[in-house]
Amino acid sequence: MENVRNLDLPRHIAIIMDGNGRWAKSQKLTRIVGHRRGVQAVRNTVTACREWNIEVLTLYAFSEENWKRPQTEVSALMALLRKFLVSERSLLIQNDIRLKAIGDLKKLPTQVQKVLNETMTLTKHHQSMTLVLALSYGGREELTRAIQTIAQDVLTKKLHPSDIHSETISSYLDTAEFPDPDLLIRTSGEYRTSNFLPWQSIYAELYITPTLWPDFTKEELFKALLAFSRRERRFGLISEQLFHFEPQSCPSIK
């Protein structure tokens, strides 16, 4: 691999980690074994992003729709998540990584909420990188919650309808404190975003790889970063305008 630091790197990478079940099936193993193997890919990706000074990494760990899966699989996933939140504390602490979570977290089992809050508290002062876990997350559900809160604030006179702009909506989302993702990666070759960050990802560069998540390595991440660095991000402008364009002046760009 060439020197990653020579590339134009994204501030925020978001990943749809897909393919654990298909990987397990291809190996004639159970789905939960595939999910366990996927944890190693998470560890490798987090470590690589920290090494390459990525500011924010958001992982789609459990979607709102995933609650509809067989109860045995959901229970196994929650147990695996709880174990991960404890076992990876040392990695987060040693690498100065802050853990945050987005989604309808109150739907998580009580014990998962407990260890999640403990790990977030332990790492809340870390500044080198932020790892965001999307848990019980759905983009439409997130927007619905934001609109409900905005409506309530209008009713209580905290907000006037004329004050509602795109920046206002962004400030009510779970991701309010983070920059929008610059690069959205999906593994397993599926060409859809599956209700993941629909508002935030409008200008994200998409990178689709057929690699199943358990096989996603540091080298695979580098390929995505290399592809990102070669793209011209115009944000609706033409190439000649980019020399004078300041992203912070555009409401959609953080």
Q: Is residue 47 within 8 Å of residue 91, measured between CB atoms?
A: yes
Instruction: Give me 152's structure tokens.
Output: 């309530």
Tens digits of residue pLDDT in 119-168: 999 999 999 999 999 999 999 999 999 999 999 999 999 999 999 999 99
Q: Which residue has the higher pLDDT, 241 or 184?
A: 184
Gap between the Cα atoms of 17 and 59, Å rounded: 7
Q: Is 95 a catalytic residue?
A: no
Give the per-residue pLDDT at 248. 47
Instruction: Give me 96's structure tokens.
Output: 């100065």
Active-site residue identified among 18, 174, 180, 182 = 18
% of the chain at pLDDT higher than 90 = 89
Half-sphere exposure of 237 (CA within 13 A, CB side): 15
Enter the DSSP assignment of 179: P
pLDDT at 251 over 50: no
User: What does the domain layout of the chain look like in residue ranges?
Assistant: 4-141+179-249
Give the per-residue pLDDT at 249. 37
- Fold that domain 4-141+179-249 belongs to in CATH: Undecaprenyl pyrophosphate synthetase (3.40.1180)
Active-site residue identified among 44, 66, 95, 195 = 66
Assign residue 188 a region (left: φ > 0; alpha: ψ between -120 and 50; beta: otherwise): left
Place of tokens 């090494």: 51
Give the per-residue pLDDT at 214. 98
Q: Is 66 a catalytic residue?
A: yes
Give the per-residue pLDDT at 253. 35
| Residue 240: other Cβ atoms inside 10 A | 7
Enter the DSSP assignment of 72: H
Instruction: Give me 6's structure tokens.
Output: 């020579």
Q: Is residue 62 within 8 Å of residue 88, measured between CB atoms?
A: no
